[in-house]
Amino acid sequence: MGNRTVSDLLTLDRVSAGYGEAIVLEDISFALREGDSLALLGRNGVGKSTLLVTLMGLARQHGGTIAWRGADLARVPTYRRAHAGLGWVPQERCMFPSLTVEEHLTVVARPGHWNLQRVYEIFPRLHERRANFGNQLSGGEQQMVAIARALMTNPQLLLLDEPMEGLAPIIVQELMGVIRRLVSADRMAVIVVEQHARLALSVTRRAIVLDRGQIVHDADSASLLADPATLERLIAVA
């Protein structure tokens, strides 16, 4: 991997990981700098979500090193990774039916740039729905809450696992706008796992394609977006 530079936020060096004895990811190496944005692409079942789960300490790391700001994460528990600046938006949106939108946000709040006012500014719909309970929200609104809740922890890296899955096109466009703003205006580092490759490529600067648990392609997002034949070959999308 070479020497870590001062601006490296996250470094993976020959990481293998999985569940129990089963190895899902093998020999994964890449570095992410502050403000970087990365699309994690590949067919179903190649290990994309497992990579995010591994970063959060919820899968078993079999080998290699994961460093956060140069410090080894191997034995750091999940809650401490979150406190250190890793924000995770899992596929399951994890709404609590007995909490209002505002309570979902304030219960996890940590001091920093992102507060209720800023979150409501980028998600005006959540401001309108702030007194509604988790089970009174549409799928799109729940996804907004999930992203907003992660922002309220004031992360330095946001991990988004299939954020557009099952959402109406108008909501997808709205969320894409939010992710673009986080990447460009707010300089937040983001890793996006997304089945819709073109969506992910259009909001990120760099892309990694996984196949059978290994990196098979690493390029800038714009060049992959401009080369549909290669994209098709790598991930079999139309």
For 1-15, 140-154, 210-224, which range has the lowest pLDDT when averaged over its residues?
A: 1-15
Alpha helices, H only, the chain: 48-55, 78-84, 101-106, 116-122, 124-128, 139-151, 169-184, 197-202, 221-225, 228-235
Amino acid at 74: A
Answer whether residue 93 shows pLDDT above 80: no
Cα 37 from Cα 20, distance rounded (Å): 30
The pLDDT score that the predictor gives to residue 7 is: 67
pLDDT at residue 156 greater than cutoff 90: yes
Helix (H, G, I), strand (E, B) or coil at 235: helix
Q: What is the mean pLDDT of the chain?
A: 91
Torsional sign, CA 103, 108, 110, 116: negative
- Can you tell me the distance from the alpha carbon of 155 to that of 182, in angstroms, rounded to the nearest whole number? 11
Please tell me which residue, 238 or 68, carries the higher pLDDT value. Answer: 68
Confidence band for 4, pLDDT divided at 50, 70 and 90: very low
Burial class (CB in 10 A: 0-12, 13-18, 19+), 98: exposed
Tell me which of 3.30.450.20, 3.40.50.970, 3.40.50.300, 2.40.10.120 is the CATH number of domain 36-56+85-235.
Answer: 3.40.50.300
Among 62, 5, 29, CA closest to 208: 29
pTM summary value: 0.93
Q: What confidence category does residue 50 fall into, taking pLDDT thresholds of 50, 70 and 90?
A: very high
123-139 tens-digit pLDDT: 999 999 999 998 899 99
